[in-house]
A and B are shown apart, each in its own frame.
Chain A
Amino acid sequence: MIMDTQFFGAQRLSPAASARTAISAVGLGYIVAFDEAVAEDHPRMGGKCASLARMTAHGVSVPAGFAVTTEAFAAHMRTGGLAAEVDALVESIDVDDVADEEQKSARARALITAAAVPADVEAAIREAYGRLAGGNELPVAVRSSATAEDLPDASFAGQQDTYLWVVGADEVVARVKACWASLYNARAISYRCKNGISGPSVEMAVGVQKMVDARAAGVAMTLNPINGDRTKIVIDSAFGLGEPVVSGEITPDNFVVEKVLLEILQRRIAEKDHELVPDRAARRAVDRVIEPERRTRPSLSDEGVIAVARIAKALESFMGCPQDVEWAIDRDLPEGANVVALQSRPETVWSRKKIAASRSYSLGVDGVLGTLMAPLNNKK
């Protein structure tokens, strides 16, 4: 599956956005929970987090989490002249000298991670993680969140780090800093230089989101990828985490759902011999052999299929175009409310197809005549 360029990347703040940052950078607004965000919060949450917040607001569940806003990053960079120091370093880079770039960018990152996070920012992050984890050692994903408006090139994606299986407030704070620092890895700097995006105006938000312990997961397309039929939702699903479905490593169960009536039209249940499951102790996902009696069972119940279809349909409706949705059934959530959307992006293959030449239809008795004659014409 293609990475979502919209969710990874740097953000260059507009003057207006910078002004907003300055006004609200008084200790407030370092944290915005996905399910509490309002539209004005979106710019300081970065693209990825804003998208999650919008999904939540439209009734699409996503794994719970929060954004550490661009203001938190700005506050960090303001402490002890860090911003000036980093900017000077970056200014001095000779982008044609790979070694120079490598060395100076590493020093910039080290400066950012070495600096202590301002106390109010750190307290806010710890408090937010504590609330999300409910006092437990909850594994979360920590990833950068910036807009992609300057970053049409998908190859840039992933240059900023994503940390999975992060557990505990200390580690969360450390990984947030690491995400901030990732703005200054060598390739990111090169990219910005080449595209005339200068240092000081680049900002970064960070998303902290629960790692989903998926009982089943997969992909849903809000059209039939075989023929572009927009009245269908096609779902691929397997046990465990969704990566093997996304990467095509396994043959998933396949369901075709009628979009408007929300009825299952087709079920193809595959034999599934492996599943990817979280190993919390090892802080990673591990491949596990599925016991024989479970292999040919559907990974999704009929109710589950409909719940996934509903979410995909809601995403299409508020995104305004056909979507390709990654989803999971969260083991920790109650039945009936356990489908979460992990990612949604516009479908591209059929949506790019040229629309056939406009045609006209006869109405009234002429239309009826056409219908009465149609079986005859079909035979010819």
Chain B
Amino acid sequence: MTKATKFPSPYELKAPDGAQGWQEMYPYYLLFQDGLRAKEDDRFWFCDSQHWPSPFKPFDTVTVEFAVKCLGQYNTRHYLIPPANGVDYRIHNGYCYMSPVAVPPDDIGPRVPQFLERAGHYFQNWPQLLDNWHKKVRANIADLEALKFETLPEVVPLEWIKNGVGLDNTYALMETYDRAIQLLYKTWQYHFEFLNLGYAAYLDFFGFVKEQFPSIPDQAIAKMVQGVDVDLFRPDDELKKLAKLALSLGIDKALEIGGVDEALAAVGRAQGGTEWLAAWKAAQDPWFNFTSGNGFYSDDKYWIEHLEIPLGYIRAYVKRLRNGETIDRPTAKIAAERDRITAEYRALLAPDAVAAFDGKLGLARVVFPYVENHNFYIEHWSMSVFWRKMRELAAILHRAGFWNAADDMFFLSRQELRDALFDYGNAWAVGVAPIGPHYWPPKIAARKSMLAALAKQPPQPALNTPPEVITEPFTIMLWGITTDSVQRWLNGSADAKTLMGMAASPGKVEGRARVIRSAAELALIEEGEILVAPVTAPSWAPVFGKIKATVTDIGGMMSHAAIVCREYGLPAVTGTGSASATIRNGQMLRVDGSTGEVVILS
């Protein structure tokens, strides 16, 4: 096999059959434009299937647009990260590709003093600023919660007339929509306020330790920094508490009856049931604002809207408790282990490195809780409320005949949706039928079939010629993409029996593969299987009680899969590039989370 040196150009990658014309679903600025081929092909793009593993519905591009734009603004305009501007992004054949933007060499030096002043302020005042961040984000969530989309009434309310308001209900509807989008925009601005700096400080400690101990496993460094009381695990902890309470109140049998409504009714009738129902209700706000997806897709399911998900997990925990199993996370053990590991490595340091170790570890531990916890506040809680509000709007327009199923709304881009809203209001005002119910259903049907065709073809890991050495710090930091991993992608199919990835969580096991491409397939996982997925979300936590190991296509040491697996003591290999495409359901695998090797045994 000849060694490949470059990935295909996007201009050579044709649309899969049935997806021709997909470009019409996305705004022009997200597409590789024909007239810019020379410029675009001159750049290296990698596919971000870590955050966006499946093709975008038109509305859902808002997540990549806001997220990656806001990432960029902090590098380029807030902190002036000397060598790095933002990350440019395109959508091609439904998937998104990223290209980090370096700062011209002559501009790097002049940015240094500004960076030191701006980033220095954040590092010096981290706890206070983070405290303020929590206040801002909670206020933003409250603003999102307060949004109210209402069907246009027959007539403008009489009191508006009497009070001389002088506005109609369409004005309020448009305003609420625009406000929802703006609040989402704010959500993502806040998301990156601390993230880039947090990762950078973590990486400073990481690099320092690697320099001291060149062959130290990455996971050892992660263990020295990782938090013990992590908000991200709270939702799962709440379910465990509810499972225990069900047993101690003796309502566990009632909880197992039928679907959600039947079970809750049975619990309500049982003695002690009221106490359990109160606890169940109390846990929901905010902890059930939690998705089994990653928050980036309109079809991500949130517990609070799908109570069957948390209830299913509670039932599974009840069974394990009855079997005498311990379901609690061993937090005391994790804390003790973190201290032991830290002390042992510290003792191996050269004497002149000890002070630096302490200083850098200190900073890493200050900043890292944000890296671990922000996910709950943004991807889970904030996005839960945003998507819920959007579904309220979808239902209104569905009732007005704009589309055949409520969630079809997400096959419109956010700009198109604004047009549809105007159409709805315009027709209401003029006193005619809106055009949308005629225009959108066939268009949505066509887009659905295009997206189905796009989803059948997995993305290229990257596009064009990679740089000889990956030097862009955020590519390495946030995506875990290194010179080595790009080489692995290029040589991907050399040995189909062995896949190499990142040794993300230690341990070695053998077991049957279960390939899961979306959260909807999670229910298929059987006891003792090895989870193989493009990427996992931390909210999959409850299935981690069932599985033996995890293998992902994308992700580094600090990816969700890695964090959760270390937490649950399961082996994990992340960033294999192609495990979910190479491995088939039911194949026997050997996963070595200490070396990063996955062997297909049969």
Contact = CB atoms under 8 A, between A and B. Distances in A.
Interface of A: 224, 229-232, 258-261, 263-266, 302, 355-356, 358-361, 363-376, 378-379
Contacts of B508: 302
Top 5 nearest A-B pairs by Cβ distance? A361-B356, A375-B471, A363-B359, A371-B204, A365-B120
Given A355-B350, A364-B123, A376-B471, A265 B363 contact: no
Interface stretch (B88-96, B210-218, B432-440): B210-218
A368 B197 contact: yes
Contacts of A264: 594
A368 B205 CA distance: 9
Contacts of B519: none
Contacts, number: 118
B116 interface: yes
Contacts of B360: 361, 363, 367
Contacts of A302: 508
Contacts of A259: 344, 348
A335 to B, nearest CB: 19
A369 B112 contact: yes
Interface in B152-178: none
Given A258-B594, A260-B220, A264-B594, 17 more contacts: A231-B348, A258-B216, A259-B344, A260-B340, A261-B223, A355-B350, A361-B208, A363-B360, A364-B123, A364-B363, A366-B116, A368-B203, A368-B204, A368-B363, A371-B207, A376-B83, A378-B469
B316 interface: no
Contacts of A266: 595
Interface in B342-357: 344-345, 348, 350, 352-353, 355-356
Given A231-B345, A263-B594, A375 B217 contact: no
Interface string B115-132: 110011001100000000
A358 B352 contact: yes
The majority secondary structure among interface residues of chain B is helix
B82 interface: yes
A369 B473 contact: no
The majority secondary structure among interface residues of chain A is mixed
Chain B interface residue bracket vs A? 35 or more
B215 A369 contact: no
A315 B456 CA distance: 58
Nearest to B475: A375
B345 A260 contact: yes
Nearest to A361: B356
B81 interface: yes
Contact of B471 (A361, A367, A370, A379): A379
Given A365-B116, A366-B116, A372 B471 contact: no
Nearest to B208: A361
B215 A232 contact: yes
A379 B470 CA distance: 9
Given A261-B506, A368-B119, A229 B215 contact: yes
B473 A372 contact: yes
B68 interface: no
A99 B355 CA distance: 64
A367 B204 contact: yes
B417 interface: no
B201 interface: yes
18 contacts: A224-B215, A232-B215, A258-B594, A259-B344, A260-B341, A360-B356, A361-B353, A361-B360, A365-B124, A367-B204, A368-B201, A368-B363, A369-B115, A370-B204, A372-B84, A372-B200, A374-B473, A375-B473
Contacts of A372: 81-84, 200, 473
Nearest to A366: B116
Nearest to B115: A369
Given A372-B84, A375-B472, A365 B119 contact: yes
A240 B419 CA distance: 81
Contacts of A355: 350
B494 interface: no
